[in-house]
Amino acid sequence: MGYKQRIGLLVLLDSLIVSTAIFISSWIVYPNFDGINMRVMVITAIALLLFHHLFAFIYKLYHKVWAYASIGELMAIVKAITLTIVATAVVQFFVNDFTLLRRALLVTWLLHIILIGGSRFIWRIFRDQYMHDNTKKKRTLIVGAGAAGAMIARQLRNEHSHTDLLAVAFADDDMAKHKMQLYDLPVAGSTKDIPELVKEMEIKHIVIAIPSLSSSTLSEIVTICNSTNVKVQMVPKIEDIVSGKISVSSLKNVDVEDVLGRDPVELDIDSISEYVTGNTVMVTGAGGSIGSEICRQLMRFNPSKILLVGHGEFSIYTIDMELRKKYQDDVEILPIIADVQDRERIFDIVNQHQPRIIYHAAAHKHVPLMEYNPHEAVKNNVIGTRNVAEAADAFGIHTFVLVSTDKAVNPTNVMGATKRIAEMVIQDLAKRSQTKFVAVRFGNVLGSRGSVIPLFKKQIEEGGPVTVTHPDMTRYFMTIPEASRLVIQAGTLARGGEIFVLDMGEPVKIVDLARNLIKLSGYTEKEIPIEFSGIRPGEKMYEELLGEDEVHPEAVFEKIYIGKTVDVDQEQLRELIEGFSEYDHTKLKETLMKIVFVDSKKYTQAIN
């Protein structure tokens, strides 16, 4: 049916209802029309007809999609009809010798609401009940009978043609909601009842609709859901949702980041703003996983200028375009292609722009690759760090923050040893510089380039197997946003020479991570098997965040601890930096280990 035909049909239907309703009402109130002036009745009918179409036009009753009508549309009908009756009453008052047929008008008002409202909503009822084949849809359990769950339920009912999900029930831990109904769907039990509900109600799909869940609670619910072997999705977390924008299309698969992530840290906004707002900041490695997220987090605090320094052209282009799209009117964004190994270039950049704070995230981080390329690890992680740090010292930069790693503790590999030496470089500079030099040490970040999770996801997409090095290997994990926020916060705590250590929570077995990821991807271990490939060159079975001589138990800020300063052997350090190019592969690795280990026993264990 065309647009004009549809409006014409609605106008004709309303005209018929309105013009006859007054006569039906009068007959109900005054049987046989006793004492009724028919002239007044005709004028009243004409007035009702005219005023109804006037207010129907004002409230757009002929321009609404009634197949999706809800409370808003019902209120528009009530307002239009009420104003129609009031205006008609005024006309009747004057043409009927200042007398109103109050009861007849009241019944007319009720008839209009019933007949006009019913004529609109009958189409929605017919569509919902008879026009869709629900037998082919996946029976869906919604976890959470709150605002987000209600919105998902309503949209699943309204968007039949756009989704293959059919909501059949809610699960919620609020006992007061049990045995209640929301959008005609029962709140059938709590989250602990999910396995039973899946069996009883033949559930094929679960949607977790509680965006404010803490990661620990979400992990518990996901574990329960995974035991059912049905598909599990969730609405985005609360920090990713613009109010009222939750929709069926925004449902996402549950990721390991959602389960392993932790409750967000409340940052000291005032101290960060003092450092960042209105100032120039510089981030090296700005195109990398951590560097780019540090840039995103810094933009919240409105720096006057941000220097995106990196060696990779495409990665710098990508973060530059992303930031410009959101912030180019508020912050001067300057992409700079530069290699931290180029001392003259780095000095020129720092001298020209005079940043207040430098976040040094540029580094080679891949453990096995650096075992095969120790010279490149030294050039980038040690000499590159020294170049940026000495430029900060030379030009009086306020604060320099080195992004370090837990692999710098008792390192058994080249990457860890070079990052420990980078820490030594800035600790030495801190003793004789006006610049505040600090390092921030943390473990693996979820989803970073080169981390195990993207590898596992790719292996699962290819049908497996998922390769794990050893069944007992453990690692600390933190989400990229959390790590970046804590790096920024640690910079405000700097007094000079500290190694800040981020609370990484409990270590996670890599094999458990693989199993979770397989389940969250909708598979079983029979479909996607796990294979153990053996420990790779330079890898530890487990990581440490502090060495025995660095332990300092008190937190200086939520989830931020401080390690004790370790003395640096400057002669060994100079020897390494000035002569590393003359060493062969083996001698360079041995020299690195000698510098980072004072204890000969630890050194022997590390190189073996």
Residues taking part in catalysis: 407
Kindly state the DSSP code that residue 535 receives in the 8-state scheme.
P
| Short-list 353, 337, 343, 361, CA closest to 439 | 361
Report the distance separating Cα 511 and Cα 532, nearest Å: 9
CB 452 within 8 A of CB 511: no
CB 36 within 8 A of CB 100: no
| Short-list 120, 7, 9, CA closest to 72 | 120
- Rg of the chain (C-alpha set): 34
Distance separating the N- and C-terminal Cα atoms of the chain: 81
Report the distance separating Cα 342 and Cα 339, nearest Å: 5
Give the tokens for residue 475: 């690692």
CB 530 within 8 A of CB 514: yes
Length of the chain: 608
CB 297 within 8 A of CB 265: no
| Pure H helices in 131-227 | 147-158, 194-200, 215-226
Report the distance separating Cα 377 and Cα 591, nearest Å: 13
CB 171 within 8 A of CB 193: yes
Give the tokens for residue 409: 């503790």
CB 528 within 8 A of CB 430: no
Q: Which residue matches tokens 């041995």?
A: 590
Report the distance separating Cα 471 and Cα 535, nearest Å: 10
Report the distance separating Cα 182 and Cα 156, nearest Å: 13
User: ω before 465 within 30° of 0 (cis)?
Assistant: yes
Kindly state the DSSP code that residue 552 receives in the 8-state scheme.
-
| Short-list 592, 596, 590, 595, CA closest to 572 | 595
| Short-list 492, 497, 601, CA closest to 550 | 497
